[in-house]
Chain A
Amino acid sequence: GQQVMQIPQYQHVQEGEDFTTYCNSSTTLSNIQWYKQRPGGHPVFLIQLVKSGEVKKQKRLTFQFGEAKKNSSLHITATQTTDVGTYFCAGPSTGGGGNKLTFGTGTQLKVEL
Chain B
Amino acid sequence: DGGITQSPKYLFRKEGQNVTLSCEQNLNHDAMYWYRQDPGQGLRLIYYSQIVNDFQKGDIAEGYSVSREKKESFPLTVTSAQKNPTAFYLCASSLGGAANYGYTFGSGTRLTVV
Contacts and interface: CB of A to CB of B under 8 A. Distances in A.
Interface residues of B, number: 26
B107 A103 contact: no
Contacts of B16: none
B102 interface: yes
A97 B42 contact: no
Contact of B99 (A30, A35, A41, A45): A30
A45 B102 contact: yes
A66 interface: no
B20 interface: no
A42 B42 CA distance: 12
A103 B99 contact: no
A44 B99 contact: no
B43 A33 contact: no
Nearest to A108: B40
Interface residues of A, number: 26
B43 A42 contact: no
Interface in A82-113: 88, 92-93, 96-106, 108
A92 B98 contact: yes
B87 to A, nearest CB: 14
Which of A93, A97, A98, A99 has the most CB atoms of chain B within a 10 A radius of its CB? Answer: A99
A103 B11 CA distance: 25
B43 A99 contact: no
Interface of B: 31, 33, 35, 40-43, 45, 48, 50, 56, 58-59, 90, 92, 97-100, 102-108
